[in-house]
Amino acid sequence: MKYMRVCGCIVCVMSCTAFAQWVPQTITLQPGWNAVFLEVHPEPNNCDVMFSGLPVESVWAWNRAFRPQQFVRDPGELGAAPPEWLVYYPSNHVHAVLRNLHTLNGGTPYLIKLADGSGPVAWTVTGTPRVRPAAWYPDTFNLVGMYVSDENPPTIQEYFAPSPAHAGQPVYTLNSAGQWEQITAIHTTRVQR
């Protein structure tokens, strides 16, 4: 009986250790706007620490708890944070006093603006994997990350095929200039995080 308790404790400790494995996620940030999705919950998750040494101008997270955003046509027009957005500015930014995004969370999409002319930056985030189900809001802006494989991601059409609610809905991508572009070739365009 004592042997079974010891084995049970060892199995419990091993499973807890396996559950909390640290993994890196590397994201290549381009100058201008980047739509990114964190699949890991970073540690530390403090924005000042996470973006230290990177040419980040601002980071935006949709605050769906406030109210649905209808559509953001030009992220370049985002100045001080509207109430439906959480925003991080580096401490030396003119709007730093207005920041209300202080930590990053796994399973969350972000819009990150890198300084123009800075060149691509490989940003590695280390943390524990975080899976959150996507919450879709009809007839409004949805900023959602996609859990997909880098090796063989599905097409947009394949990804949304099981969901009748998404049939015929337009899909957009954010280019580095901050302009939303509609993706019309959904049967050949592959989903990215």
Q: What's the pTM value of the predicted model, to 2 decimals? A: 0.77
Q: What is the pLDDT of residues 120-141, one digit of tens each?
A: 999 999 999 988 888 777 777 7
Distance CA 127, CA 129 (A): 7
- Amino acid 9: pLDDT: 41
In 3D space, the residue among 135, 91, 87 whose CA is nearest the CA of residue 111 turns out to be: 87
SS3 for 125-192 is: EEEEECCCCCCCCCCCCCCCCCCCCCCCCCEHHHHHCCCHHHCCCCCEEECCCCCEEECCCCCCCECC
- Amino acid 11: pLDDT: 41
Q: How are beta strands 32-38 and 108-114 bridged, if at all?
A: antiparallel
- pLDDT beyond 80 at 116: yes
- Amino acid 137: pLDDT: 78
Q: What is the pLDDT of residues 47-87, one digit of tens each?
A: 999 999 999 999 999 887 655 444 555 655 555 556 788 99
